[in-house]
Structure 1
Amino acid sequence: MRQHTTTPLAIGEIFNTVWDYQQIVREQLIDYVRSAVTHTGGITHLKKVLDYASQYQIKSGMHGPTDISPVGMAAAMHLGLAIHNFGIQEYMQHGEKTDQVFEQSYTWNDGMLHPGDAPGLGVELNTDEAGKYPYVQAYLPYNRLADGTVHDW
Structure 2
Amino acid sequence: MIITDYDLYEVPPRWLFLRLETSDGIVGWGEPVVEGRARTVRTAVEELLDTYLLGKDPMRIEDHWQTMYRGGFYRGGPILMSAIAGIDQALWDIKGKHHDMPVYELLGGKARDRMRVYQWVGGDRPEGVADAAREKVEEGFTALKMNATAELRRVDSPSAVQAAEDRLAAVRDAVGEKIDIGVDFHGRVSKSMAKKLAAALEPYDPMFIEEPVLPEHNDALPELASHTTTPIATGERMFSRWDFKEVFEDGCVDIIQPDLSHAGGITEVKKIASMAEAYDVAMAPHCPLGPIALAACLQVDACAPNALIQEQSLDIHYNETSDVLDYLKDPTVFQYHDGYVDLPEGPGLGIDIDHSYVRMQAGEVNWHNPVWRHDDGSVAEW
Q: Do both proteins adopt the same fold according to a TM-score greater than 0.5, normalized to the shorter chain?
A: yes
Distance in 2 (CA, whole Å) between partners of 1:13 and 1:26 is 14
RCO higher in structure (CA 8 A, sep ≥6): 2
In the alignment, what sits opposite 1:9?
231
Change (3 A) 1:133 1:73: same
In the alignment, what sits opposite 1:71?
292
Question: Percent same amino acid at aligned positions?
Answer: 24
Distance in 2 (CA, whole Å) between partners of 1:145 and 1:50 is 38
In the alignment, what sits opposite 1:32?
255
In the alignment, what sits opposite 1:101?
327
Change (3 A) 1:89 1:127: same
* Counterpart check, 1:141 vs 2:370: yes
Asked if 1 retains the 8 angstrom alpha-carbon contact of 2:287 and 2:313, the reply is: yes
* Counterpart check, 1:20 vs 2:243: yes
Post-superposition shift, 1:85? 1.1
1:23-79 C-alpha deviation (Å, 9 max, x unpaired)? 1111111001112100101011111111111111001011121xx110100111110
Asked if 1 retains the 8 angstrom alpha-carbon contact of 2:328 and 2:352, the reply is: yes
Alignment root-mean-square deviation, CA: 2.6
* Superposition map of 1:80-91 within 5 A: 80-91=301-312
SS in 2 for 1:35: coil
SS in 2 for 1:11: strand
Distance in 2 (CA, whole Å) between partners of 1:18 and 1:152 is 26
In the alignment, what sits opposite 1:112?
340
Distance in 1 (CA, whole Å) between partners of 2:307 and 2:362 is 38
Distance in 2 (CA, whole Å) between partners of 1:134 and 1:46 is 28
Distance in 1 (CA, whole Å) between partners of 2:230 and 2:292 is 30
Post-superposition shift, 1:131? 2.8
Change (3 A) 1:108 1:30: same
Asked if 2 retains the 8 angstrom alpha-carbon contact of 1:107 and 1:116, the reply is: no
* 1:76 aligned partner, one-letter code: C
SS in 2 for 1:37: coil
Distance in 2 (CA, whole Å) between partners of 1:141 and 1:6 is 31
Post-superposition shift, 1:83? 0.9
Change (3 A) 1:109 1:46: same
Task: Give structure 2 stretches of 5+ with no counterpart.
Answer: 1-221
SS in 1 for 2:295: helix
Post-superposition shift, 1:149? 3.9
Distance in 2 (CA, whole Å) between partners of 1:31 and 1:20 is 16
How many corresponding residue pairs?
Answer: 150
Asked if 1 retains the 8 angstrom alpha-carbon contact of 2:255 and 2:283, the reply is: yes
Change (3 A) 1:43 1:13: closer
Distance in 2 (CA, whole Å) between partners of 1:64 and 1:53 is 18
Distance in 2 (CA, whole Å) between partners of 1:35 and 1:45 is 10
* Superposition map of 1:45-56 within 5 A: 45-56=268-279
SS in 2 for 1:132: helix
Distance in 1 (CA, whole Å) between partners of 2:283 and 2:369 is 25
Answer 1 or 2: which has greater helix percent.
2
Q: Point out 4+ residue stretches in structure 1 off by more than 3 angstroms.
A: 2-6, 94-98, 143-153
Task: Give structure 1 stretches of 5+ with no counterpart.
Answer: none
Q: Which moved more, 1:143-152 or 1:50-59?
A: 143-152
* 2:328 aligned partner, one-letter code: F
